[in-house]
């Protein structure tokens, strides 16, 4: 029987390997916070632990890169596109509230971890968060602009209102207080903001 040489898979370029590791780390960071381990990262990325440390200097380096990626424009856009907006005011508001809930949860975890970091991640996170908030507001204002004739306030004001409500709901839930029903909040928002409710 003739010997057939087995070719090894071509290793990913370092930048691509780093991106793949960060992509696998992001949901782990949200689930485990600063208790994340290199073994968990390796298992999620499907690589050996040594591969991680050939792409990154340390586990903290992985975490810092993941914080930066988690607060990127691309990740925000990914969250905004995760669920289609149906086009009616009530449906669009329901989707927006779910998007904001997921977004605020990610932000809360990432900011908590970055504040505990002794690296420059804290400053970078603060700058990125400001930029992402501006982009988020712009995207939602654009989404609710077609409903301007249905609202008693401007789309800009309506978006600021639902941002406050979504953020408050996330904070309320994280404190272990009674869960606020999303449908009740949506109904309250529409009752107070829709023209025909006055």
Determine the pLDDT at residue 54. Answer: 93
Q: pTM here?
A: 0.76
CB 169 within 8 A of CB 188: no
Query: CA neighbours within 13 Å on the CB side: how many for 89?
Result: 20
51 phi/psi in degrees, rounded to 5: -65, -35
Determine the pLDDT at residue 159. Answer: 94
- What are the chain's domains? 12-57 (1.10.10), 71-197 (1.10.357)
Picking from 79, 191, 68, 181, the residue whose alpha carbon sits closest to that of residue 131 is 68
Determine the pLDDT at residue 9. Answer: 44
CB 162 within 8 A of CB 95: no
Determine the pLDDT at residue 7. Answer: 43
Determine the pLDDT at residue 176. Answer: 55
Residues with Cβ within 8 Å of residue 86, at least 6 apart in sequence: 92, 95
Q: Which tokens hold the place of 74?
A: 């691309």
Determine the pLDDT at residue 143. Answer: 96
Distance CA 177, CA 5 (A): 62
Determine the pLDDT at residue 84. Answer: 94
Residues with Cβ within 8 Å of residue 189, at least 6 apart in sequence: 93, 161, 162, 165
pLDDT along the chain (198 residues), means of 10: 50 86 94 90 94 93 91 91 93 92 87 72 76 94 96 92 81 54 71 61
Determine the pLDDT at residue 101. Answer: 87
Determine the pLDDT at residue 14. Answer: 84
């Amino acid at each position: 029987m003739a010997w057939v040489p087995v070719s090894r898979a071509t290793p990913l370029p370092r930048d691509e390997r780093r991106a793949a590791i960060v992509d696998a780390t992001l949901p782990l960071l949200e689930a485990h916070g600063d208790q994340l381990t290199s073994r968990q990262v390796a298992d999620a990325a499907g690589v050996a632990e040594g591969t991680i440390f050939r792409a990154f200097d340390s586990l903290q380096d992985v975490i810092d890169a993941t914080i930066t990626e988690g607060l990127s424009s691309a990740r925000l856009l990914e969250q905004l596109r995760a669920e289609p907006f149906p086009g009616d005011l009530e449906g669009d508001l329901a989707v927006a509230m779910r998007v904001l809930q997921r977004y605020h949860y990610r932000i809360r975890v990432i900011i908590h971890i970055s504040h505990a970091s002794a690296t420059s991640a804290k400053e970078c996170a603060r700058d990125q968060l400001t930029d992402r908030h501006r982009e988020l507001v712009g995207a939602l204002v654009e989404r609710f602009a077609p409903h301007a004739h249905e609202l008693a306030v401007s789309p800009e004001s309506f978006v600021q209102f639902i941002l406050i409500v979504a953020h408050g709901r996330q904070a309320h839930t994280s404190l272990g207080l009674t869960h606020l029903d999303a449908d009740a909040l949506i109904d309250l928002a529409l009752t107070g903001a829709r023209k025909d409710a006055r």
